Structure 1
């Protein structure tokens, strides 16, 4: 979290920019117990608006409601999905029934899985196990237990699945998940969040896919320049700083109009130039370079994880400021030694990992700071070496 802008975590509703329309769309779907998929690039505020606005509103709007938030970012198998769902279910129970006496009564309504309840100095801990073994319950048993609880207690449930595109990589996961959701005989709303559009397309857009044409769609777009500029000016004013609209646009575009990246940069401007009034572009450029220098160690760790061919590919992408064809002659000039087929495989791998994204038909590095790091340090060092 910064001094004047919020980043590196979930944002509260007051810190979200240009989210009112999306909030209204989402809440309208949720309150009518619909299923909805929420699209948007990473770091665009999807999880913040769902968790800190929609989920909170759901939990407080009626007493007969429960919500489960589950993040599949690290899931790579059906077992991982079951583990994440089990952990999320236990957390939801603890949040919905915080009183120890109340939750003991609730746990009696859960079927197929065994609650493990432990009193601690700060309250209690809750985990869920298989009935006869000290192991994570199977996924069907988790869904059956959720349904049994909701039916017994007459609860409406909000199910939130974040980074849902990861199940596209898991064999048969889509069909299993769709079947389990459809078999829940309860009043429910489901929100699915995702940031990797090409993987989400495989889940929702292909006629043969289990989730084809599933649910309603809400998509978070880039914040209009003038709206983010007003948002930034309001916060920079607290630091005794302002910037021109033209300069604001330059740096918004340089940071791919990603809210997280923009908040980080303008917070740095506010703390570095406090009480300096209007900040000229030259000073803003200096701030950007200093912020990049301060982040060099962290970015170098990320950079070191890539193979030599991946570095070559990413360097070419950074130098070209994006490319519409990674097999074209212009791009190939900077990727000597990588075949066309090799370039396609690298692109797929980097897109699957969220390192490269497609914006308006152009492939680009998703992290604007990593792109700037490559241009400042890696390509320069290569030129010096040669």
Structure 2
């Protein structure tokens, strides 16, 4: 429980561009990193990899391995010229290029004449325990898939490993299968994220029953907000995969659609977990507030019992504290003016009587079981 989410950073950068800008204008977001280009050219027999500094290296690799499928992996969006040149060379619609640079897109799958465009959300905790929601984009065309990521972190190491090993359909099923593999990896990160959230919810629940304090409510509310962000990523991701399954594009082959159905099931499972955890967070908050209310009721009950015990004692003390004189200034006895004031041992009698009243009240409360519930 010591490891808590510091805050949720949901793309703190503002939307790029200005109101009324021309559609298709590529505007690089503030703070965008310079791109790092990795090229993976593969077929059934071999895998050729290289790092590219610019598009010249990319085109050189494409010509060199003309009978391969190519995955061009671009990490960083801080070069508008690179994006525009890619669009010009591959004849990509300017609206697609705008969506790549505009990092606030929801997951979707758009089909065009000879290519397709896909976006997803990569949600993860960074090294500072902050939740970050980044955009992943991919263009699929012919024997080529180009992926765009906002940062330089490596999240597709498992896909690279599968390419190196060469088992399964990843080298032979074309760029559509690679798009599926990347999408499925992103969905798997949701499960990893939800597993961390589940552990934190368990820790919060344990703390509720042992040493509850107001930090429980804050932590549960923060986790709930995190779940809402993951939900906003996973729900349209499900719709996107469904669009890919129903697509008639030759880039999404029947073999790929079979795997996409499995990814669709995984997405549904993630959504179910999100809804379950949201209910748990709400239950924890309600439970904590109920415990606080019950604790307050118990305190009020103790104070009420003490007050009820002292009310008759205060009443008796108030009567005999009125100090009406027994005799007037001439020494005559005033009738009915507190004769008890002149009793021998009257003070002792009053204290004993008050004590017996208190004991009788405590006995009645005990018989009713009030002390057992404190």
TM-score category of the 2 structures, normalised to the smaller one? under 0.3
Please say which structure displays the higher CA radius of gyration. 2
The TM-score with structure 2 as length reference comes to 0.24
- Compute the TM-score of the two structures, normalised by the length of structure 1: 0.24
Flag the structure with more relative contact order, 1 or 2, with Cα contacts below 8 A and sequence separation at least 6: 1
